[in-house]
Amino acid sequence: MSESDKYPAESGRRRFVKGVVGGAALAGVGATGAAAINSATQASGAGGGATQAYAIENTDGPAPRGMPQIPVAIDDEGYLKGVWPEVKTEKQGGISIQIAETENFKGSGVTYTSEWFQYCGVESYAGLEPDYDSENYFRVGSNPGYEWQSETYSEGDRLHVDDFSNYQTWTGGMGEAVGKGATGRWRSEDAEDIIPIQVIKSDRVMELAQQDPWIEASTQDGFIAWLNKCTHFCCVPQFKNEGSAKFGAENDVYCQCHQSVYDPYSLVQTLFVARPRPE
Ligand code: FES
């Protein structure tokens, strides 16, 4: 990770970006964000700016906000995919650019866009290009986060729902059996930079989906997924991570770099300034 990939450590902005924010806060952060983008990048690039994303909540540690969700889909054969927004062409500053955006995602009222993932340098990854050629499956990476994955899969295999069937008893060796996790990659085949993701199947997700239109739209059969890049300094956290128990986070997602904790069963709206994609 290069220095420039790191998210700026701004303590002053944190109070604006955490949790659900109102219009006034959005306007305030938008103004700050424009200035930040102008000073942080030479070229204006595509997209970026004040963005509201749904995220798994950051509950402890220095991370400024939650990690953004990736809506889940399951194909006819039971393989897990991350939904990519619709690719469109839009005029920005008189120039036609491609964006990836779905308004009113599955009738939830939420606008889902690729800007949710534009932080920590991910904005420059090939997989974030709107028209990157991908089937959008979640695939096992070179260094899976869990032993069960190494026993079940080879690198590049697609995650399959059947392999989560013991999710009600699985503990990953710690804490309670609250759901079964897997790590993986998304939209990264043949790409230099890997987009890390994490998936959990849990009854808790099914319960949440009954109470909220967005969660119903973005999860399926108890599966939830998110971009697995800590919003602090871009490390890759893990659900039921070794070492998390010391911080009371054995049932949460824990980033061992600086002890940030995320609750995958609390989904919140976050506001942040998405970085523009390179031109
Ligand atoms: S807590 Fe610092 S990178 Fe995750």
pLDDT tens, residue by residue, 196-218: 999 999 999 999 999 999 999 99
Q: Would you say residue 23 has pLDDT above 60?
A: no
Q: Would you say residue 62 has pLDDT above 80?
A: yes
Whole-angstrom Cα distance, residue 57 to residue 55?
6
Q: Would you say residue 29 has pLDDT above 80?
A: no
Q: Would you say residue 59 has pLDDT above 80?
A: yes
Mutational test site, ligand 1, from 14, 198, 241, 258, max ligand atoms within 8 Å of CB? 258
Residue type, 255: C
Neighbours of 30 (CB within 10 A): 14
pLDDT average, residue stretch 95-115: 94
pLDDT average, residue stretch 136-160: 97
3-state class (DSSP) for residue 237: coil
Q: By C-alpha distance, which of 238, 249, 251, 246 is closest to 204?
A: 251
Q: Would you say residue 108 has pLDDT above 80?
A: yes
pLDDT average, residue stretch 173-185: 96
Residue 93: per-residue pLDDT:
79
Angle at 138 between CA 57 and CA 59, to 5 degrees: 10
Residue 21: per-residue pLDDT:
40
R_g of the chain computed on alpha carbons:
18
Distance 28 CA to ligand 1 centre (A): 26
Tens-place pLDDT, residues 117-133: 999 999 999 999 999 99
Would you kindly state where each structural domain of the chain is located, as residue ranges?
Answer: 3-274
Distance 12 CA to ligand 1 centre (A): 18
pTM of the model: 0.84
Distance 279 CA to ligand 1 centre (A): 28
Q: What is the mean pLDDT of the chain?
A: 86
Residue 39: per-residue pLDDT:
35
Torsion of CA 150, 187, 196, 96, to 10 degrees: 180
Question: Which residue's alpha carbon is at the smallest distance from atom 3 of ligand 1?
Answer: 233
